[in-house]
Amino acid sequence: MRFTVAIDGPAAAGKGTVSRAIAERFGFAHLDTGLLYRAVGAKVLAGADPVAAARDLRPEDLEAGDLRTQAVAEAASKVAAIPQVRAALVDFQRSFARREGGAVLDGRDIGTVICPEAEVKLFITASAKERARRRWLELREKGADVTLEQVLAEVEARDARDRERATAPLEIAPDAVVIDTSEMDIEQAVAAAAAHVEQRLKATKEGSET
């Protein structure tokens, strides 16, 4: 069975955590598409051309240990605004999405560009202040010397880049279910997402049996 769950949303809204939990709960494969852009961003920081890095990207590049740094995150946001980079990564993502057994993909343009025909589309969001607070706490745990105000400014700048880029901007698909996690803990967010997936999965299975 091919069944695609497309999960989009801004940085630090919780979509990655929700996506991994949904994939595990339903036995689907999971792809954090942001890692594709982080892997390209890491190569750019090392001196590579962004378009060439995207075209030459290999699955093992997603296993690099430095993809979660703030510098790589900033580089990823910038290379994601390059149309040629996004085009080079489209086939990789679409092939993964339609693999047998089901797949969950999370990113910023999954439901609108990569998988517009996905069986489930979710948009996970939260206020900029709450997302900045979460990211700030993560950075503090890692020993980063950064203020909440600095992180909020970075979150808002990244949101602006993602929304305003010419190619595949961050936007909510017309048929996506919006889940605002500002006042939710992770268990509540996962439960809300799982309910929508379960409903659609049941309808899909019943439809295939008739």
50 annotated ligand binder: no
15 annotated ligand binder: yes
Element (H, E) at 27: none
143 annotated ligand binder: no
Torsion of CA 7, 10, 13, 19, to 10 degrees: 20
14 annotated ligand binder: yes
Structure tokens at 47: 């001196």
Q: Of 87, 107, 94, which is closest to residue 167 (Cα–Cα)?
A: 87
9 annotated ligand binder: yes
In this structure, are residues 72 and 36 in contact, taking their beta carbons and an 8 Å threshold? no
Element (H, E) at 99: none
87 annotated ligand binder: no
Edge-first strand order for the sheet with 4-8 is 29-32, 103-107, 4-8, 120-125, 177-180
Binding-site positions for ATP read 9-17
Binding-site positions read 9-17
